[in-house]
Amino acid sequence: MRIGVVSDTHNRLRNVRRIVELFNAARVDRVVHTGDITEARTLEVFEGLEATLVGVFGNNDVERVALGAAARAAGFELEEPPLSIEWQQKRLLIVHDPFFLTDENLASHDVVLHGHTHRAVHERRSGALVFNPGECAGMLAGHNTVGVLALDSLGVEWLRF
């Protein structure tokens, strides 16, 4: 299973359109958004995905009612963090802010996906792969990133745009 991972889109619709193109071209099976979508119209752009989107709210997602309604209308799952899910016998924890992670969270999951810092992270902590896809709402072409996680191998591919 290939999972597209994106965070902190902050309603940058032009970048979100490009992210949809990248994930569709990469043929991801699912997309995880780790928060800070900001406005419901961003989810309308994500409707162009050929994969299902699952995610959590971030600290800038203050319009939770509108975001929740847009997510449901699009068939997406958007929850309060932390969201713990299991795919292909791998336990994933999805959060926005990594500062709330505990050793217990890390030890009980194979993968932890987060955002918030706008900095790319790919490391092992307490046995878990911790991954942040980095900045995707920036203005500088070539410096924005999203990630693709191969769940079977826990390998990561960076997609720059």
- What digits encode the pLDDT tens for the residues 103-144? 999 999 999 999 999 999 999 999 999 999 999 999 888 899
What are the pLDDT digits (tens) for 25-64? 999 999 999 999 999 999 999 999 999 999 999 999 999 9
According to the model, what pLDDT value does residue 96 have?
98
Per-residue pLDDT, 45: 98
Question: What pLDDT is recorded for position 76?
Answer: 98
The CATH code belonging to domain 2-160 is: 3.60.21.10
User: Residue 71: which pLDDT band, with cuts at 50, 70 and 90?
Assistant: very high
Looking at residue 91, what is its pLDDT? Answer: 98
Kindly report the number of other CB atoms within 10 A of residue 90's CB atom.
17
Cα–Cα distances (Å) from 154 to 13, 24, 56, 90, 109, in that order, read 29, 20, 21, 10, 13
Task: State the pLDDT at residue 28.
Answer: 98
- For the CA atoms of the chain, what is the radius of gyration? 14
3-state secondary structure of 150: strand
Q: What's the average model confidence in pLDDT over 10-26?
A: 98
Distance CA 131, CA 45 (A): 24
* Tokens encoding 107: 């030890």
pLDDT score at 139:
87
pLDDT at 149: 98
Rounded to whole angstroms, how far apart are CA atoms 149 and 43? 21
Identify whether the C-beta of residue 20 lies closer than 8 Å to the C-beta of residue 46: yes
